[in-house]
Amino acid sequence: MLLITCPHCGVSGEETEFAPGGEAHLKRFGPGSEEGEFAGYLFYRKNPKGPHFERWRHAYGCGKWFHVARDTVTLEIFGAYKATETAPPQEILDRIAARGKA
């Protein structure tokens, strides 16, 4: 069970309070783009074994979208941040880099 903290309202809850929204930080391609780029945007997603950045929505709370950095193997959550961030905050990247070094 994932325990997620919403960065908008600050409420922590089990993952059943939230709705997953797929991979975060996708670069969008629309009309006028190369066919391969558009197909990649529509269909291809990363499926890493380890740290991953995902979109989540606080479905049974404030209803807002945000991003979560978590490990797909250990289910450790490195942090959550607002969906308006275009890249993960440095403190979360530092936590990912420091994992397993304790």
**58 touches Zn ion (CB under 5 A):** yes
Per the listing, tokens 């275009």 go with 86
Please answer whether residues 62 and 8 qualify as being in contact, where contact means their C-beta atoms are separated by less than 8 angstroms: yes
Helix boundaries (H) for 1-102? 35-43, 90-98
- Range in contact with Zn ion (rule: CB under 5 A) among 13-21, 38-46, 56-64, 76-84: 56-64
Instruction: Write down the least CB distance from residue 96 to Zn ion, Å.
Output: 23
3-state secondary structure of 19: strand
Could you say whether residue 6 binds Zn ion (CB under 5 A)?
yes
> Would you count residue 3 as binding Zn ion (CB under 5 A)?
no
Chain contacts with Zn ion (rule: CB under 5 A): 6, 8-9, 58, 61-62
